[in-house]
Structure 1
Amino acid sequence: MKKRIGIVFIWFSGLILLLTSIFWLTKPTFSADMFSLLPKSHSQLAYGEQLFFEKNAHRVVFSFAGEQKNNAHDEFNNWLEQQDITSTFNFPSINALTTTFAPYKYALLSKPYKQKIADKASFEQFYLQQLNQLGSPFVSATLSTDISLSLAGFISENLSQSQVFTIKQNRLTRQYEGVEYAMLFATLPEPNLSINNAISLAAKIKTQINTLSKAYPNTTISYSGVLFHTAENAQQAKYEMSLFGGISLMALMVMVFWVFRAISSILLASFTVLSALMGGAIAMLLVFNSIHLLTLVFAVTLIGIAIDYAFHGMTDLAKAANETAQQASSNGYSKGVKSALLLSFITTALGYSCLLGAPLTLLAQVAVFVIAGLFSAWLFTVLILPFWQQTLRVSTSSLLLSKKITRVFLYCNKIKKPLFIALSIVLASLLVLKPIEFNDDIRLLNASSEQLMASEKKHLTLLDQWRSHIVFIIGDNAQHVLQKQQRLVSDLTASNPHIKHNAINRWLPSIEQQKNNLAVFNQAKKSGVFALTEQLTGRQLSSGPAQFITYNALLNSEFKPLLLAQMHVEPQQAITWMTISNINTQSLSAALLKDDGLLLYNKPQQISALLSDYRAYLLLSLVLAGAISWLLFSWRFGVKIATLQLLSLLLVVVSMLWVCNAIQGSLSLFNMLGALLVVALAIDYLVFYQINKLQPKNILAISLSAASSMWVFGMLSASSTPAIFSFGLTVMVGILAVYILSPLSVLPSQKEG
């Protein structure tokens, strides 16, 4: 007994030492951001995304509506400042804008103003109306600088078009569908919060919001931002890891005790699973610096695979221990089980290795974890379990049940041909009646609450960004980009005058456009349009040298933060972005084809397309896994048996996918990931059946394996994360199909005596 305990102690001491050392050396980070799993977009789109949108990951948005919204807004703003979370949505004052744009006033003309100065009478009427509105901040701020009021028109028009908010008593407000909202935009104090800090900060903010909601019961407070998605997804992942892992382990221990009726058997099964988890963790820490929590949720599934080795190993060792003393003199595994364990590990590892080159980080992390974990479990099973052989006994009740199941399988195996034909016909009919459909919606990655998703939609709507399009414009320099933007806006407006946009060329027209504006203004001046203006003010319109505003000029003004938020210029390249609404995607895409360097940025659509590609990658992996299995089976058992096993595998996959499609309504990337795992487990069953045949002890081990796998993965089908639900449902249904169909593939080996 001491020797056995000592061996186990040495084994786990080595694993713990290795795991601790690697963890200390690599110092991995853990992420709960669902979209961090995805690769970057097209290189230029990714560059623009990094320049302009990555900072949004650190922004939080709050809205207040109701009778006491202003009080709630002010109290919450004060509380945020106490937490070092300050408002980040600032716009230059009208006086600051006047100072910035005054030197270029005659080259900056709004479209309505240009229409007015085209006719002298129309302009004079307009001018008198404006002078009677000296209370207007635009007129009062610019009249002393520009008697023509062209600057007032430029600033007022651009503010009304560029800003969806107004400022009331130092609060950003927005009128939408008859409701007035007070808004707060803030940036987190730490750009990269750890998962625990994100959960803690989100909880503090929600607690303060709940306190204000009680203090102001007639006020509705909404919040959104990546912080809250990260916190909710992380909490959900942690909860599911502990719940699913705990319940799965307890259920598996009950199964093991029912079969072997000894505490030592429970410990051995637990040690096998623990070896797998530690081995997988060691490999993953070595390969990846950042580990996603969703990977750890999927890692729970390793329990259902690794424990198969313990079941087969303990059942085979217990068989020898239950025999006579003379028969038991031969210690260790039987030749068949040794061969089956090795072949099972090789085929499963080869199947999962297809995921190592997957462009989706999650798939590669799962592959590394599972392959390394199974190798560790296989080593423990082969090297450590035999030392415990004398402690293992198989219960009589479990043997009797396995014998009953054996008789059923033997009968089905005799009529395999009509069963295969009937099942093929049924499946073909079902596929005709309800074909398999796929849905690659990115929401399958998100487990955020409906409340948070609704708040996100509300805030995007208030920002005029819901259902709007984002376009990146790339050129050789600032002027090149501005000219492209001007042409695009002109083309779109000509075909659809109701479009709305926030193009930076509203504030920074190209030099070409400014020259045209100046020519229009000078022509109006020459035609006497401004005679009344000069007469009423007693001042002459200035006629100094023409000045044109440039990107560099705005960089040295108070407008700089807003300029950099929408435009970036380098020595060899310039890039800007704009939102466009009130236009359909097809029309916009057609307009973008007219010029190079115009890229439509549709993140949801692009990610969905990527998920579709990854699904195709998994489908190819399934085909490769099947081909590899057929080659190995042909080498080990012969072509006839290998072909029959491949047919069983094909029927399992098709029936599994059809059932999941019928339940879910469509299939996703994660159904295909589950299908790959089912194929890996099915290969294990096929190997053990073919090597050890339909013997009661072998069927007992496989039945335990199937029951444990269906339980573990059935737990995942209770997940609130759609991706995990799809994965768990697929594997649970697939294992049931494997358990029923794999015995039909058993034949006397063509390479046996």
Structure 2
Amino acid sequence: MTKRITVIVGWFSSLVLLFAAAFWLSKPTFSADMFSLLPKSHSQIAYAEDVFFQQNANRIMFSFAGNNKNKAFDDFQKWLDDNAIKSTFNFPSVNDLAQTFSPFKHALLSDTYKQTLSNKTTFEHYYLEQLNQLGNPFVSATLSKDISLSLAAFIEDNLKQSQVFTLEQGRLTRRLKGVEYRIILANLAPENLGVNKSIELAEAILKKINALNEAYPNLTMTYSGVLFHTAENAKQAKYEMSLFGGISLLALIAMVFWVFRRLNSILLASFTVLSALIGGAIAMVLLFNTIHLLTLVFAVTLIGIAIDYAFHGMTDLAKKEHEKGYSKGTQSALLLSLITTTLGYCCLLGAPLTLLSQVGVFVIAGLVSAWLFTVLVLPLWQSTLTLSPSSLLMSKKLINVFEYCNHLKTPILITLLAFISALFLIKPISFNDDVKLLNASSDHLMLNEKKHLLLLGQWDSQIVFMFENSDEALLQKQEQFLKRLTQLNPNFKHNSISHWLPSLQKQSDNQAVFKQAKNKGTLDIAERVTGQALASTKSPLLTYETLAASAFKPLLLSQMVVEPSQSITWMSISGISSDQLINEVEKSKGVYIYNKPQQISALLSDYREYLLLSLVLAGLISWLLFSWRFSIKIALLQVTILSVVVLSMLWICNAIQGSLSLFNLLGALLVIALAIDYLVFYQINKLEPKNVLAISLSAASSMWVFGMLSASETPAIFSFGLSVMVGILAIYFLSPLSVLKPQKEL
């Protein structure tokens, strides 16, 4: 007894020390941010995304509507300031814009202003109308700098086209569908987006929002942003981890006690699982700096797989006819089981989703740790292990059923194959690769996001990235691209940087237009009304470098960046159909549509096709393995059973869900790995009571664990759990059909 306890203590002390050292070296953080799971886009697009949009990745937004919106706005703004959360929307004032652009006024002409210059009478009406608008901030801020009002028109028109917001008494304002909203935009520091911090901050904000709703009647306040998704998903993941893990462990303890009727057997099974969890955690913290909570939810499946080793090991050790240790067949089967399951999870290591790579690493390392514990430590407890008569009696009854079905294996398999083929003809399977399958956020939060995208003018807009060798070439490309879109729809809207920074070529053309209008006398009214002489039409041209050194710099860099090797810009476009935009983009080199959800869904689709190929390869590898280990006849039979299991699993899941995703295929891959274990154990140890008992315990535990996952609120986890549960149920009843007398000695 002393030796056993010493070995157990030494084993877990080593694991804990390794985990502590790995944790200290890597200092990982935990995340519940769904967006951090997503794969990277095309390399150029991914780079541009990091350059322009990374700063808004942690943005939160609040909107206020109703009779008390101003009071609620001020109250909430003060609360944010007190909590060191600062607003981020800082657009230059009209006076700042006038100061920045006035030296280049005659090179910067808005399209509206240029149209009025084409006719003297038209321009006079326009000029007088602008002067007569009482309190016009654009005229009052620019008249002393430009009596022609070209600068006023340039600033006013560009603000209308580039910004959906106005500033009223210091409050950001947006009118939409007859409702006036006050808006607050803020960015959070990364340290506020950790799992616990995000939950804590989100709860504090929601508490303040509830207080405002009580204090100000008829107030409608809406919130959105990554913080709230992170907090919601974190709470859901924590709940599912504790619920699924707790229920699974209780169920497994009950199963083990029913079979072995000894407290030590429960401890040994628990120690096997604990070894797997610590071993998986060691590898994961060493290889990943950020660990997603969904990884831990998926990793609950390790409990259902790792405990299989304990079941097979303990039932074999309980055979009193063996003097010491495992039988040769069980040793071989345990090793083959580890190899096949590990190969199955190795397919996850190259996944485009970080989540899947983390799950793969966690489970592979965990299984190795559980296998080592089973092989090295469990045999020390052999003399204390016994099997309950009731469990052996149950396995003998199951054997009678399996042997009867085994005699009818040929008609059973032919009937099943024909039936499944008919089902596929009646209702073919379909696939859904929507990235939304990763999201477990509530409908309420998703509606908030939609509302705020509408307020931002981004709900129906499309984003386009452009790349060129120089800033001038980039601006000219953007102007030509927009010109083609104008021909498709003159009323389409965009927020391109060329509004504020026309190409040098266009600025020269503007100067020529202005000079021609002056020479024709079109601008004489400006001199008559103001009594001042019109300044020279020859003004300097505005360059990227000049604008980047002005108060406009933050806004310029948010939409255009010039680097030594390339220049990049982006713009949002609305009023043009997707097909029309795609057609124009395809005509232009270095122009890309940026649609993150669509691009990620396309990547998921590509990986799904890779998984389909992996399933075929898994079948081929299984056949080669079985042919080498047993015989070609046995291999063909076992691969046939695998095919029936996978096809039936896919069809049933498709019927329940309406479509399949890559997570169903991941489940199918795991089912194949587990199915090979069952087939190997059956072929090596035959339909013996203790072997059937171990496999029954294995199947029951796995179905229980994965059945728990099928209750998850996250579609991805639900699909994965449902697939594996259905697949294991099928393989449990079909795998005994594979038992044949081998032509080779083991």
Q: TM-score, normalised by structure 1?
A: 0.97
Conserved? CA contact 1:438–1:668, under 8 Å: yes
Question: Which residue of structure 1 lines up, in the alignment, with residue 43 of structure 2?
Answer: 43
- Could you tell me which of 490, 498, 503 is aligned with 1:497? 490
Question: Which residue of structure 1 lines up, in the alignment, with residue 131 of structure 2?
Answer: 131
SS in 2 for 1:90: coil
The yes-or-no answer on 1:682 pairing with 2:706 is no
Question: Which residue of structure 2 lines up, in the alignment, with residue 241 of structure 1?
Answer: 241
Deviation sequence 1:609-629 (CA, Å, 0-9, x none)? 011111122222222222222
Question: Which residue of structure 2 lines up, in the alignment, with residue 212 of structure 1?
Answer: 212
Partner amino acid for 2:585?
Answer: L
Over 3 Å counting, the alpha-carbon distance change for 1:174 and 1:356 in structure 2 is: same
Question: Which residue of structure 1 lines up, in the alignment, with residue 457 of structure 2?
Answer: 464
Q: Give the superposition deviation at 1:218.
A: 1.3
Conserved? CA contact 2:173–2:180, under 8 Å: yes
Over 3 Å counting, the alpha-carbon distance change for 1:287 and 1:131 in structure 2 is: closer
- Could you tell me which of 707, 719, 729 is aligned with 2:712? 719
Partner amino acid for 1:110?
Answer: S
Partner amino acid for 1:357?
Answer: G
Question: Which residue of structure 1 lines up, in the alignment, with residue 177 of structure 2?
Answer: 177
The yes-or-no answer on 1:24 pairing with 2:17 is no
Residue-pair matches, total: 746
Distance across 1 between alignment mates of 2:420 and 2:54: 48
Q: Give the superposition deviation at 1:517.
A: 1.1
Distance across 1 between alignment mates of 2:191 and 2:702: 41
Deviation sequence 1:433-470 (CA, Å, 0-9, x none)? 11111101011111111111111111111111012110
Question: Which residue of structure 2 lines up, in the alignment, with residue 167 of structure 1?
Answer: 167
**Percent of residue pairs identical:** 67
The yes-or-no answer on 1:734 pairing with 2:736 is no
Conserved? CA contact 1:356–1:367, under 8 Å: yes
Question: Which residue of structure 1 lines up, in the alignment, with residue 232 of structure 2?
Answer: 232
Which range is displaced more, 2-11 or 648-657?
Answer: 2-11
Distance across 2 between alignment mates of 1:534 and 1:289: 67
Distance across 2 between alignment mates of 1:69 and 1:415: 75
- Could you tell me which of 442, 463, 466 is aligned with 1:449? 442
Distance across 1 between alignment mates of 2:126 and 2:22: 75
The yes-or-no answer on 1:270 pairing with 2:270 is yes
Conserved? CA contact 1:470–1:600, under 8 Å: yes
Which range is displaced more, 547-556 or 734-743?
Answer: 547-556
Q: Give the superposition deviation at 1:527.
A: 0.9
Distance across 2 between alignment mates of 1:190 and 1:20: 25
Distance across 2 between alignment mates of 1:315 and 1:148: 95
Partner amino acid for 1:423?
Answer: L
Distance across 2 between alignment mates of 1:356 and 1:603: 23
Question: Which residue of structure 1 lines up, in the alignment, with residue 197 of structure 2?
Answer: 197
Deviation sequence 1:477-531 (CA, Å, 0-9, x none)? 1111111110011110111112110011111111111111111111111111122
Deviation sequence 1:279-316 (CA, Å, 0-9, x none)? 11112222222222211111110000111111111111
Partner amino acid for 2:714?
Answer: T
Question: Which residue of structure 1 lines up, in the alignment, with residue 60 of structure 2?
Answer: 60
Question: Which residue of structure 1 lines up, in the alignment, with residue 85 of structure 2?
Answer: 85
Flag as ranges the 4+ runs of structure 1 deviating above 6 A: none
Partner amino acid for 2:721?
Answer: G
Partner amino acid for 2:327?
Answer: S
Conserved? CA contact 2:64–2:219, under 8 Å: yes
Distance across 1 between alignment mates of 2:184 and 2:35: 25
Deviation sequence 1:300-352 (CA, Å, 0-9, x none)? 100001111111111112232xxxxxx46x12222221221111112212222
Q: TM-score, normalised by structure 2?
A: 0.98
Distance across 1 between alignment mates of 2:484 and 2:678: 64
Distance across 2 between alignment mates of 1:29 and 1:131: 60
Question: Which residue of structure 2 lines up, in the alignment, with residue 114 of structure 1?
Answer: 114
Which range is displaced more, 296-305 or 531-540?
Answer: 531-540
Distance across 2 between alignment mates of 1:282 and 1:572: 42
5 Å matches for 1:697-712?
A: 697-712=690-705
Distance across 2 between alignment mates of 1:156 and 1:276: 65
Conserved? CA contact 2:511–2:538, under 8 Å: no
Distance across 2 between alignment mates of 1:43 and 1:677: 32
Q: Give the superposition deviation at 1:379.
A: 1.3
Q: Give the superposition deviation at 1:169.
A: 1.1
Partner amino acid for 1:553?
Answer: T
- Could you tell me which of 364, 383, 388 is aligned with 1:371? 364
Question: Which residue of structure 1 lines up, in the alignment, with residue 540 of structure 2?
Answer: 547
5 Å matches for 1:626-641?
A: 626-641=619-634
- Unaligned residue ranges in structure 1 (runs of 5+): 321-326
Question: Which residue of structure 2 lines up, in the alignment, with residue 585 of structure 1?
Answer: 578
5 Å matches for 1:238-317?
A: 238-317=238-317
SS in 2 for 1:580: strand
Distance across 1 between alignment mates of 2:579 and 2:93: 39
Q: Give the superposition deviation at 1:650.
A: 0.8
Question: Which residue of structure 1 lines up, in the alignment, with residue 422 of structure 2?
Answer: 429
5 Å matches for 1:480-519?
A: 480-519=473-512
Q: Give the superposition deviation at 1:359.
A: 3.2
Deviation sequence 1:62-86 (CA, Å, 0-9, x none)? 1111111111111000000011111
Question: Which residue of structure 2 lines up, in the alignment, with residue 414 of structure 1?
Answer: 407
Distance across 1 between alignment mates of 2:526 and 2:10: 96
Question: Which residue of structure 2 lines up, in the alignment, with residue 658 of structure 1?
Answer: 651
Which range is displaced more, 134-143 or 408-417?
Answer: 134-143
Question: Which residue of structure 2 lines up, in the alignment, with residue 324 of structure 1?
Answer: none
Distance across 2 between alignment mates of 1:676 and 1:239: 27
Distance across 2 between alignment mates of 1:131 and 1:34: 53
Q: Give the superposition deviation at 1:187.
A: 1.5
Q: Give the superposition deviation at 1:257.
A: 0.6
Distance across 1 between alignment mates of 2:514 and 2:610: 61
Q: Give the superposition deviation at 1:415.
A: 0.3
Partner amino acid for 1:568?
Answer: V
Q: Give the superposition deviation at 1:193.
A: 3.6
5 Å matches for 1:554-569?
A: 554-569=547-562
Conserved? CA contact 1:649–1:679, under 8 Å: yes
Distance across 1 between alignment mates of 2:450 and 2:27: 37
Deviation sequence 1:5-62 (CA, Å, 0-9, x none)? 2221111111111111111122122222222223321111111101110111121111
Distance across 2 between alignment mates of 1:217 and 1:538: 55
Conserved? CA contact 2:106–2:537, under 8 Å: no
Conserved? CA contact 1:58–1:191, under 8 Å: no
Partner amino acid for 1:530?
Answer: L
- Could you tell me which of 448, 468, 488 is aligned with 1:475? 468
Question: Which residue of structure 2 lines up, in the alignment, with residue 323 of structure 1?
Answer: none
Distance across 1 between alignment mates of 2:543 and 2:375: 74
Distance across 2 between alignment mates of 1:124 and 1:346: 86
Question: Which residue of structure 2 lines up, in the alignment, with residue 13 of structure 1?
Answer: 13
The yes-or-no answer on 1:610 pairing with 2:626 is no
Conserved? CA contact 1:355–1:621, under 8 Å: no
Distance across 1 between alignment mates of 2:603 and 2:537: 57
Distance across 2 between alignment mates of 1:145 and 1:367: 66
Q: Give the superposition deviation at 1:192.
A: 6.5
SS in 1 for 2:568: strand
Conserved? CA contact 2:280–2:364, under 8 Å: yes
Question: Which residue of structure 1 lines up, in the alignment, with residue 344 of structure 2?
Answer: 351
Q: Give the superposition deviation at 1:749.
A: 0.7
Conserved? CA contact 2:22–2:285, under 8 Å: yes
Over 3 Å counting, the alpha-carbon distance change for 1:266 and 1:506 in structure 2 is: same
SS in 2 for 1:175: strand
Which range is displaced more, 128-137 or 720-729?
Answer: 128-137
Distance across 1 between alignment mates of 2:86 and 2:35: 26
SS in 2 for 1:529: coil
Question: Which residue of structure 2 lines up, in the alignment, with residue 597 of structure 1?
Answer: 590
Distance across 1 between alignment mates of 2:106 and 2:535: 10
